[in-house]
Chains A and B, each alone.
Chain A
Amino acid sequence: MAVKVKSIARRRAFVENGIRYSFAAISAFSIFVLVLVALFLIINALPAFRMISPGTFFFGTVWDPTSPLNPLYGIVPLFVATLLVTLISALIAIPIGLGCTIYLAELAHPRVRAIMKPAVEVLAGIPSVVLGFFALIVLATWAQDIFDPVNRLNLFVGGVMLSAMMIPIMVSLSEDAINSVPRSLKEASYALGTTRWETISKVILPAAKPGIVAAIMLSIGRAVGETMVVVMACGNAPHLTFNVFSSGLTMTATIANEMGEVAFNSTHYYALFAVGLVLFILTFILNYVADIILNRQEERY
């Protein structure tokens, strides 16, 4: 009997350790890939700073790498374009996404929700090249008629199209946050004779706030890193502009456009890696902050 119990215990320990180690291996592998990508970026970006001074790279306002006489590698115009596109898409996607979430999670009739939720998820699955194509052909034409922009393809068109990519992410992540608010809290509030809107705004949203903020950060991270839509919709003129209706070149679009034609090991080549590194750090920070905020929510209950 005692022998048998021991052998069962040993076998169970073996199985459990096996499970634990395989999960550890999987997560170690994903960290390994992350480190590998970071190293690859850093190693390829560092030579850039030997050829271009960090001052001109980070503060230079002209990006003109192909000039035969005086090539310039200033990241500022690219950074500003990324910022403007992200800002426009966030300004559109956050209120719409939030409204959509509240409607789906708390107000919609179950039958409406059963149709709308999958629809939103399908929207998340549309390939970005399709959205980019739509922006290029349809959205740009509408924007041209309404706003009379400086260029037909511009940062505004890209930002609007990007918001269509952000909204589904916003909605599905922040709906999770709202659904994880315990039902007992909602019932407590309703039982005190508060209206639906009072309960949503004073109990449900505050309790779900960390998750919602994290959803916003993650979808902004998505906008910063998105490439295809901006390449196709923003016009890709590498000048420094604060006018959202003129065309612009984002960091991602720069890499996508120029990497194919650049000479291997040239200054331009390394400069593109430096842009990639900046992008990597930027999205890493956004995701990391979102993660911290999310974890804080889990501790609270």
Chain B
Amino acid sequence: MDGSISVSNLNVWFDTNHALKDVSLKIGKNEITAIIGPSGCGKSTFIRCLNRMNDIIPKCRVEGTIHIDGEDINNPKIDVVEVRRRIGMVFQKPNPFPKSIHENIAYAPRLHGMVESSNGEGSEPKRRNYTKKEIDDLVEWSLKRAALWGEVKDRMHKSAYELSGGQQQRLCIARALAVKPEIMLFDEPCSALDPIATAKIEDLLVDLKKDYTVIIVTHNMQQAARVADKTAYFYLGELIEYGDTEQIFEKPQKKLTEQYITGRMG
């Protein structure tokens, strides 16, 4: 249970479109990894493989292995629902439920129940229902963790749609944290946000790193340089280069990477 990820020979097709080609990489625990690359190069497709969200898309085919904590999540015998509980995801556009702020966060934990004990590797953890107090505490904890508590604590039962875009995005982060994942995936979480909201989320990412493995897709080079430990550059479905952020930005090994980073392409 540490949140390390090891991907090997990952291929994805949408019908006949070969969207990811033979991607292999290892992501260590408690690191922030930035995924960069031009639009359509497969960044979203890649992170959606990590929590098997591509299953929902009818004509999508995934091949290759993805080990998370040593367990192959593409193994047909694995419980997809359990995989998604261990891996939180925040989407490009804030997508709160049409429910109250409190309900948005309480929704999933209430369905899952509280983990009482995990009986070691492989077996499903034992769960029981949350008490009302426990739910309230969990909601508060998640909102504090997502740096939103102060702004919403007096209107927990108002619609989540009354929040600003940046607040909604932090609500979505809190909602994902409430499930207590080990890994957090962010797909361009700041693309709809202003610099102040973006800065808040970046601070949050760095703070989350202590407890989670974080992967963030971004179009913003400065953002990748600011927050990420490692950076992966994708181009036309291929992983071109992967390494320490500093190295990628200062001494890229590949011509394509250099062209992209210096803005001569895409």
A residues whose Cβ falls under 8 Å from a Cβ of B = 110, 182, 184-195, 198, 202-203, 206-207, 300-301
Contacts and interface: CB of A to CB of B under 8 A. Distances in A.
Interface in B72-118: 81-86, 88-89, 91, 93, 95-98, 107-108, 111-112
22 contacts: A110-B58, A186-B56, A187-B53, A187-B95, A188-B172, A189-B97, A189-B108, A190-B84, A191-B89, A192-B85, A192-B108, A192-B176, A193-B81, A193-B83, A193-B85, A193-B112, A193-B179, A194-B108, A198-B111, A202-B111, A206-B98, A207-B98
Interface of B: 51, 53, 56, 58, 81-86, 88-89, 91, 93, 95-98, 107-108, 111-112, 172, 175-176, 179
A188 B91 CA distance: 8
Given A191-B53, A193-B84, 4 more contacts: A110-B58, A187-B56, A188-B96, A192-B108
A185 B179 contact: no
Contact of B97 (A188, A190, A191, A301): A188
Nearest to A191: B89
Nearest to B92: A184
A193 B51 CA distance: 9
A222 B95 CA distance: 37
Nearest to A110: B58
A191 B83 CA distance: 9
Contacts of B88: 191-192
A184 B91 contact: yes
Contacts of B175: 188, 192
Contacts, number: 63
A189 B99 CA distance: 13
A202 B84 contact: no
A184 B172 CA distance: 12
Nearest to A111: B58
A73 B95 CA distance: 59
B85 A190 contact: no
Given A110-B58, A202-B107, A202-B111, A190 B91 contact: no
A59 to B, nearest CB: 45
Given A198-B111, A202-B111, A190 B56 contact: yes
A301 B58 CA distance: 26
A203 B86 CA distance: 21
A301 B95 CA distance: 11
A192 B179 contact: yes
A192 B175 CA distance: 8
B111 A191 contact: no
B98 A300 contact: yes
Contacts of A187: 53, 56, 91, 95
A110 B58 CA distance: 8
Contacts of B179: 192-193
A184 B112 CA distance: 21
Nearest to A192: B108
Contacts of A193: 81-86, 108, 112, 179
Q: Which 6 A-B pairs have the closest CB atoms?
A: A193-B85, A192-B108, A193-B84, A184-B95, A191-B89, A188-B95
A185 B104 CA distance: 11
A185 B97 contact: yes
Contacts of A203: 97
Contacts of A188: 91, 95-97, 172, 175
Contacts of A192: 84-85, 88, 107-108, 175-176, 179
A108 to B, nearest CB: 11
A179 to B, nearest CB: 14
The residue in A185, A191, A194, A301 that gathers the most chain B C-beta atoms within 10 A of its C-beta is: A191
Contact of B84 (A110, A182, A185, A191): A191
A189 B175 CA distance: 10
Nearest to B90: A191
A210 to B, nearest CB: 11
Contacts of B85: 192-193
Contacts of B56: 186-187, 190
A66 B82 CA distance: 72
Nearest to B109: A192
Contacts of B83: 193
The residue in A187, A188, A192 that gathers the most chain B C-beta atoms within 10 A of its C-beta is: A192
A190 B53 contact: yes
Nearest to A195: B81
B264 to A, nearest CB: 34
A187 B108 CA distance: 13
A203 B107 CA distance: 10
A195 B53 CA distance: 13
Contacts of A184: 91, 93, 95
A185 B95 contact: yes
A110 B172 CA distance: 30
Nearest to B95: A184
A40 B126 CA distance: 70
Nearest to B85: A193
A194 B85 CA distance: 8
A194 B86 CA distance: 12
Contacts of A110: 58
